[in-house]
Amino acid sequence: MRFGSRFLLGLLLLATTSTVAANESEPPRLTFIKSFRGSQPEYVRVTLERSGNAVYQGGSMAEASEPETFQLSPATAERLFRLAAELNYFRRIELESSRRVAHLGDKLFRYQAGGEQTEVRFNYTENATAQELQRWFERIARGRYLNQVLEYRLSFDRLGVPGALREFEQAFNAGELVDPEQFLPVLERLAADTRVMRVARARARDLLWRIRSGQSRLTIEYEDQRSGSYAKLVMEEQGTTTYEIRSLGEAPQPKPLDIPRVARQRLLELVREANYLRAYGSHPPGAGAVVGYRLVYEAGSEYNQVAFSQPPDAVLAEIVYLFQRLMYQQDLRERLQAALDEQSLMLQVVLQELEQAVRSNSLADPTEFLSLLQRIADGSQTHTRVRDHAQRLLEEIRARS
């Protein structure tokens, strides 16, 4: 053998050895590929490492998107690798069902580690472990696809953001998205972009809260189209409570509400009794209804709601009753405070309304009015008749409490 030939052979052996060494040093990877003409998207490819490092590609059969890196939790990655291990990392395994089924898309599982590469292809499988692994990868791919749609709409079609965000929220509520923390960057951009419609920014802020807090939240809304009135209460499990009392045409302006402790505890008890609103989907308001309520329970990816004109059972009826008392109490408190500050003639009118509310048990906690009533009773600039009325109310509330 000539020197030149020996030299070239040496270089070839060195290159081969280096490639093998590089492959052996690479971390194990799982890859899922699915192609299904006519689906959205037609082609997806997800590659995952044990650390959670991942790469996504999606698009049409003819042209896939540029590879996009993202991060999943190590716990999620470990679960998928455990499923792959149960399938012997696709070594000498047949997943295709022997049953004749429609074409559901070409699918591939691949495992790469230490220079080894094994894979299996199928259209439909009856293997329960493979089905679970497929569902996990399809949920991951679905999330990245929706993330790309949001990014595109935000950059090139801001009018399309509300629809894209609604689709994203529906997938989130259905538990179809894996590791929701990965979507925080696009939601933060959306919530902060003043060029986007206000309703979409508010929806993005709600999603950010749900992903970050891990707490539950109860929302109660009331709408009367005849009078144009609207009321809303939002109570977080371990956070603030806000409310709105306004006309339907006014812009949302939530304000903090110091909800009585007993009322908060009772609302939480009632929501638990209602099984967190998980089975009330069959009670929508009737056609043409002009008065309606909507209750929403949120906790992480769980999103349950019920809407009705009349409460379908006693538990929801008590929730509505307590909500009405809280809103009426806050409305009276605001009007009484305003009349007192302005020394308005309306002060006597509001006191009479408050007295009727106390006697009819229409308030959640009448003792919250004690400090205001004491100010009125002690006010030297207030008319004697008004002071006497306030004093009588003070005594009546104290006697009832």
pLDDT of residue 215: 84
pLDDT, one tens digit for every residue, the chain (401 residues):
444 555 444 544 444 444 444 456 789 999 999 999 989 999 999 999 999 999 999 998 888 789 999 999 999 999 999 999 999 999 999 999 999 999 999 999 999 999 999 999 999 999 999 999 999 999 999 999 999 999 999 999 999 999 999 999 999 988 899 999 999 999 999 999 999 999 999 999 989 988 988 788 999 999 999 999 999 999 998 778 999 999 998 988 999 999 888 899 899 999 999 999 988 865 555 555 678 999 999 988 888 999 999 999 999 999 999 999 999 999 999 999 999 888 888 899 999 999 999 999 999 999 999 999 999 999 877 788 999 999 999 999 999 87
8 Å CB contact between 182 and 72? yes
Q: So what's the pLDDT on residue 6?
A: 54
What was the pLDDT predicted at 2? 47
Q: With contact defined as beta carbons under 8 Å apart, do 35 and 62 qualify?
A: no
- What confidence score (pLDDT) does residue 20 get? 46
Q: What are 233's two structure tokens? A: 């209460």
Nearest to 31 by CA among 179, 141, 115: 141
Burial class of residue 3, CB neighbours in 10 A (0-12, 13-18, 19+): exposed
The full DSSP string for 11-72 is HHHHHHHHHHHHHHHSPPEEEEEEE-TTSSSSEEEEEEETTSEEEEEEE-SS-BPPPEEEE-
Over residues 287-309, the pLDDT tens digits come to 556 789 999 999 888 889 999 99
**Structural domains for the chain:** 29-212 (no CATH), 214-320 (3.30.1560.10), 343-401 (no CATH)
How far from chain centre, in Å, is Cα 250?
25
What residues have CB less than 8 Å from 323, skipping those under 6 apart? 220, 222, 231, 233
DSSP 281: T
Please give the pLDDT value at position 333: 93
pLDDT for residue 288: 58
What dihedral do alpha carbons 17, 19, 20, 23 form, nearest 10°?
160
Q: What is the Cα–Cα distance from 144 to 146, expressed in whole angstroms?
A: 5
246: phi then psi, degrees, rounded to nearest 5: -160, 180
SS3 readout for 82-136: HHHHHCHHHCCCCCCCCCCCCCCCEEEEEEEECCEEEEEEECCCCCHHHHHHHHH
pTM value? 0.68
On whether the CB atoms of residues 54 and 69 are closer than 8 A, the answer is yes
DSSP assignment letter at 249: T
Q: Residues 59, 33: contact at Cβ < 8 Å?
A: no
pLDDT tens sequence across 139-185: 999 999 999 999 999 999 999 999 999 999 999 988 899 999 999 99
DSSP state of 284: P
Q: Report pLDDT digits (tens) over 95-129.
A: 999 999 999 999 999 999 999 999 999 999 999 99
Residue 74's identity, in one-letter code, is P
- Nearest CA to 280 out of 309, 299, 318, 308 is that of 308
Task: Quote the pLDDT of residue 282.
Answer: 53
In this prediction, residue 374 carries a pLDDT of: 93
Q: What percent of the chain has pLDDT over 90?
A: 73
